[in-house]
Structure formats: structure tokens, C-alpha cells
Amino acid sequence: MHHLLEQAETLRKEVGQHISQKRKSELGQFMTPATVARFMASLFPPSTLKTARLLDAGAGIGALSGAALDRFAAGGFPFQHVQVVAYEIDPKLRELLSQTLAKYKGRFDIDISVQRGDFIEEAVKLIFKGEERFTHAILNPPYKKIHSASSHRFLLRRVGIETVNLYSAFVALTIELMQSGGQIVAIMPRSFCNGPYYRPFRELILAKTAIKHLHLFAARNRAFRDDAVLQENIIILLERDAIQGSVTVSTSTDDSFTNMETNVYPFDRIVFPNDPECFIHIPTSPERNHLEISPAISFSLGDIGLEVSTGPVVDFRLRPHIRQMPGRGTVPLLYPGHFSGQEIDWPKQGAKKPNAIMRNAETEKWLYPSGYYVVVRRFSSKEEKRRVVASVVCPDVFNGSPMLGFENHLNVLHSGKQGIPENLARGLTVFLNSTAVDEQFRLFSGHTQVNATDLRLLKYPSREVLTRLGVWAKAQGEHTQQKIDHKIESLLWPKTTR
């Protein structure tokens, strides 16, 4: 049974080595390993239909269609007739795809049609005709940004799809092409689960399908080991027009699926009931994260009177004004490297990065007045224990400088581009450095960056609670992670003593 898929797998490895990395990224091609294909096909629930119509968009050499056909042949699928429609734009791959699928001819009453057209163009035509509808779809869509002025963007708009990447476009079109009850299994980057750009795509998924199963590969580099794909990938099973119920969530480290864990969650753990952004969370343990359910943590940054911005000083644009060390007419320029632990190391002797920027007509508008701020690094390395790393900016470190420069790799929390009260800054820093925040952040974000948008979307304690936390923090001196977490616990769950 499986030897066809094994042949496809050998082929995938050979083809993968022959397609240049450049060509892969032009077409967004990353072939699906056999183990992943088989797992994806296993998610199709048994069926009572007599005819199956299977769509594979961006089919490559047919690993996914092949896996689906193997699954249909294995029982639980009483199909008397199977139609396969596979799209592949690359002529070399298309030849191999036809060969892969032809091998299934003897096993079913089967019609195979290998389409050479551009899936986005062809799907839009089909949607307008309102004809063909599929019962099953299995896809590993291409990963590539869609430019806002491109013909793809225009075509997608004609069918009401607003999206920024080929992968979400392929899945959105597939949803539109399914018949009621149709099953879609797709593997894609986790990036659509959060962030403003994918919100229309999430809304489409929630409006037209039910999410039945989510599988998360925990290692960000292991789902496509032969290709350098640095995205957390997930597999999703969607059912067209179904009522949303609970969701099965499975995780494995990588594509060997050896240490798989599976749990079933109520839908309100996946998409929080009153979340206007419709973020899709992938819970990694049945215990609820404290922040998810603590009534004490329900304030937005706006509610506590704060804003967050990306550090405005982009050093290569202001190069002529940047100085290695402070001198006459300069003000401090702060990089992530100036903040280690609770200390501010400025000016940093013998550092690679500069320490100062001239204050003049050219630079003035990029500077902030001196005061207390909170900074959060935008990039953390994979090895770091926490993604969210926050520090207090204390103005008294800077020898009375009237202004400060924040470099672009920092996020700055401020109030109307001015400093904030000292205790609020200290309390906010302790809160952001807690393990609870880090866990919360990892739940909705698969990447190692922490951007201003992410900080805007977190929920915070009230201004008053943060200020009290700051008073505590100042009195403490050194904070260990344990101390911080213990303190946050006691804030979230105050002992109800009478």
C-alpha cells in the first residue's frame, strides 16, 4: 500500500536537492515529507459519500494527493468514484505529479486531472461559475508575500478575499470551493493565528468553517528538516459550514510524530469569546494560563494611559549624527545591549554599538525627553529563556541629559512620547518580566520577535496595581525570576481573607 508514497518520498528528496533555494522561494515551494502527508490524510474523518472530489492546490509531486488516496483505499470510505484535481504551476514537478497519480489508476474508479494553470486565477473563475465543489481538499500551499498592487491581490478582492500571503490565499479559495460538509486539511505557518494582517483570513475561517483539529510542531525548525523553514508550522482540519464544537489539539516535536500528545479543548480556549482580533490560540496544556482567566489582568495599554512605539532611531539613516561616545552636543543613544539584567550599562566602553547621537535639527524629532520609560527588546535569541525581556530606563543614569534616543531594536512604552511615573515604569517592567506573561505571549505568537503590536495586544493589571507593584520592586532591590513570579501570583489571586 505505502510503497507508492515511499517512491514519492525518495523523489521529494531528489527533487528538493535539484530545485535551487532561490527557485523555491520564487514559487514558495516546500515539499511535504511522507510522514507529514500521511498524518494529514489520517485527519480526514470516515465518510458516507459515494463520490469523492479531492482538490490538491500547489500539489508538487503529489505526496499529499497520494496520501489522501491511500487513506481512501484503506477503508471507512465507501467511494464508488474518485475525482482528483491537482494544480501545479511548475512544469518539471507537474510531470512527476502526473506519474505519481497515474499509479493509482488501478485502485479506484478514478478521474485524474492535473491542472497547469495558476490556482488563484483558476479558482476565482470557478467561484464565479459557482460550479465545481469539492468534498475533500489537502494542501501544503506556497509561502510567499502577495504585493498589494499585484494581479493576485486584485483577483482575490473580486471574490471578497483580503490577504497578504499565497498560503492564506490558497486556503481561503479552497474554503470557497468546498461543498457543505467538505473537509480541508492544510499545513501552513502559524503566522495567520495572530497579527492584524491575517485578521480577515481568520474571520473567513470562523465564518465559513469549523476548526476540528490543530496540530502544532513544537520545534520551529523540524517540520521541514531538509528545507530551511524558520516558521512554526501547524496542520489544521476545517469542515465547511459545520457548527463549531470543541477542538482536538495535538503536538509533536517534529515530523516523526513520535512524542505526540493530544487533548480536546472547548472552543473558548482556542478563540477567546470577546476578542475583536479573533486570535487563534493553540493551548499547549490543559491547565489554563493564569493570565487568560485572571479578572485582575483585563486592562489594555490604553486603559492604563500608556502607548508603545518601536524605537524611532534607525541608525543607518542617521549615521552622520551618531557618535561612539558621548561628547559636546550629544545625547544618549540606547540599544538593547545597554540593558543587562536590571542594570543600565551606559556609556558602554569598547562596545560594537555607539552610545550617543548629536542633538540637532535633523535628529530632534526622533528623540524623547528624558524621563522614566520601559523598554522591551524586539528580538530575543531562540536560546533565551524568555521572549519578553523588559527594562526600566532611569533618567539619573544619563548625567542630566535633556533628551534620549531609542534605537529601532527596542520597543518603548511611554505616555504621549513623554516619560511615565517611576513606580508605574518599575511595576510594568516586573509584570512584563514574569513567566506568566511569557507563557501568554508564546500562546498567541509563534515567532521570536516581540513587536509593538504584540505588546498592544497583551492584557495588563490596572494602573493602580502596577504602581503598587513598582513600589514593591523598588524596595526589593534584586529580583530573581522566582520572586517576580511569586509576587505576580499573589497579585492575580489575592487571598480572599475576611
Both 356 and 418 in one domain: the answer is yes
Both 30 and 145 in one domain: the answer is yes
Tens-place pLDDT, residues 346-364: 999 888 899 999 999 999 9
- Say which DSSP state 415 is in: B
In a domain, 498, yes or no: no
Provide the domain limits for residue 156. 3-287
pLDDT band at 2 (very low <50, low <70, confident <90, very high): low
Tens-place pLDDT, residues 430-469: 999 998 888 878 776 666 788 888 898 888 999 999 999 9
pTM here is 0.65
Both 266 and 319 in one domain: the answer is no
Q: Which pLDDT score is estimated for 252? A: 87
Total domains in the chain come to: 2
Share of the chain above pLDDT 70, in %: 86
Cell numbers at residue 263, please? 487533548
Label the pairing between strands 330-334 and 356-358: antiparallel
Q: Which pLDDT score is estimated for 498? A: 33
Lowest mean pLDDT among 164-173, 193-202, 303-312: 193-202
In a domain, 170, yes or no: yes
Q: Which pLDDT score is estimated for 350? A: 84
Residue 220 vs residue 158, higher pLDDT: 158
Of 253, 287, 321, which marks where a domain is finished?
287
Distance CA 459, CA 440 (A): 10
Distance CA 210, CA 196 (A): 21
Both 67 and 19 in one domain: the answer is yes
In a domain, 492, yes or no: no
Both 75 and 151 in one domain: the answer is yes
Both 254 and 380 in one domain: the answer is no
In a domain, 193, yes or no: yes
The mean predicted confidence, pLDDT, of the chain is: 87
In a domain, 176, yes or no: yes
β strands within 190-325, DSSP E: 209-217, 233-240, 247-252, 261-265, 307-310, 322-323
Tens-place pLDDT, residues 466-495: 999 999 999 987 788 899 988 888 876 655
Residue 9 vs residue 335, higher pLDDT: 335
Both 385 and 481 in one domain: the answer is yes
Tens-place pLDDT, residues 76-118: 899 999 999 999 998 888 998 999 999 988 888 999 999 998 9
Distance CA 469, CA 77 (A): 60
Distance CA 252, CA 266 (A): 21
The CATH number of residue 224's host domain is 3.40.50.150
Both 26 and 143 in one domain: the answer is yes
**Percent of the chain that is helix, strand, coil (3-state, to 5):** 35, 25, 40
Distance CA 46, CA 78 (A): 9
Q: Cell 543614569 belongs to which residue? A: 397
End-to-end CA distance of the chain: 69
Both 54 and 101 in one domain: the answer is yes
pLDDT band at 226 (very low <50, low <70, confident <90, very high): very low
Both 319 and 171 in one domain: the answer is no
Tens-place pLDDT, residues 387-405: 899 999 999 999 999 999 9
pLDDT band at 11 (very low <50, low <70, confident <90, very high): low
pLDDT band at 298 (very low <50, low <70, confident <90, very high): confident
Q: Which pLDDT score is estimated for 160? A: 92
